[in-house]
Amino acid sequence: MKTGIYPGSFDPVTNGHMDIIERSCKLVDKLIVAVLINPNKDAGLFSIEERIEMLKESTKHLLNVEIDSFSGLLVDYAHYKNASIVVRGLRAIMDLEREMQMAQINKNIAAEVETVFLVTRAKYSFLSSSAVRELALFNGAFDDLVPAYVSAKLKSKLE
Ligand code: COA
């Protein structure tokens, strides 16, 4: 069984992430979308539990997708989950340098784990979770950028 991991902060999950999840889950038997508990990033808008809940709701139509969280090294988590593939999305050339560095570090410490890059659909190439948070904070339109459940959560969070 081929298991893939799509790791990230997902604060919150956007339609850009959904695009990567929906496409990459067809390439593996099981896709684990893993929320990083990251001590290097500030607390963010949503708690880890809220991010997991939003991901679960937004992916419930995808039968081979599991939602989880992890801390520590990604490759250690991959070993723990018997996963051999890490999925990452590339939005634009600006992502490439950082993504290549992470993939090379991971390859250096765990040669058996492969990083696979999917190019994000052009209509989401500008999108990020922080852009969505900012739009929500300053009354900009974000309904088209996130799943409906996330949109409702954002509205109630910021009320
Ligand atoms: N659509 C929309 N937004 C996207 C996107 C897409 N397809 N792909 C990335 N993004 C955005 C995210 O929304 C996020 O935006 P934000 O900064 O505004 O919140 C930003 O790009 C960063 O992406 P994310 O995937 O959340 O990366 P990250 O830097 O938070 O986490 C990990 C990357 C989890 C892969 C990495 O930190 C990791 O592996 N950490 C574990 C420690 C480790 O193993 N280190 C060794 C390797 S370096």
Where residue 24 sits, what CATH number does that domain have? Answer: 3.40.50.620
Question: C-alpha distances in angstroms, 64 versus 60, 115, 130?
Answer: 9, 19, 28
Give the separation between CA 158 and CA 38, rounded to whole angstroms: 23
CB atoms within 10 A of CB 159: 5
Q: What is the mean pLDDT of residues 5-31?
A: 98
- The share of the chain scoring above pLDDT 90, in percent, equals 91
pLDDT tens per residue across span 137-153: 998 999 999 999 999 99
120 is in which domain, residue-wise? 3-153
Residue nearest to atom 45 of ligand 1 (CA): 73
Q: Which among 74, 115, 154 is the best mutation to test ligand 1's pocket, defined by most ligand atoms within 8 Å of the CB?
A: 74
Residue 137 lies in a domain: yes
Q: Ligand 1 pocket test: pick from 128, 130, 144, 154 the residue with the most ligand atoms within 8 Å of its Cβ.
A: 128
Q: How far apart are CA 108 and CA 101, in angstroms?
A: 10
| Residue 14 near residue 124 (C-beta atoms within 8 A) | yes
Alpha helix segments (H runs only) across 7-146: 15-24, 48-58, 74-80, 93-109, 129-137
Q: Could you tell me if 67 and 55 are in contact, meaning their C-beta atoms sit under 8 angstroms apart?
A: yes
pLDDT for 41 beyond 90? no
Atom of ligand 1 nearest to the CA of 41: 30
**Domain presence at residue 158:** no
Query: What is the C-alpha separation between 86 and 32, in angstroms, rounded?
Result: 10
Mean pLDDT for 32-51 is 90
Q: What is the mean pLDDT of residues 92-112?
A: 96
pLDDT of residue 39: 78
Residue 121 covered by a domain = yes
> What is residue 145's predicted lDDT score, i.e. its pLDDT?
97
| Atom 44 of ligand 1, nearest CA residue | 73
pLDDT at 159 over 90: no
Is there an atom of ligand 1 within 6 Å of 8 CB? Answer: yes
Over range 104-117, report the average pLDDT: 98
Provide the domain count of the chain: 1
The residue whose CA is least distant from atom 46 of ligand 1 is 73
Give the model's pLDDT for residue 25. Answer: 98
pLDDT surpasses 90 at 23: yes
**Can you read off the two tokens belonging to residue 80?**
């723990």
Q: Which residue(s) pair with 35 in the sheet?
A: 8, 69
Asked if pLDDT for residue 63 goes beyond 80, the answer is yes
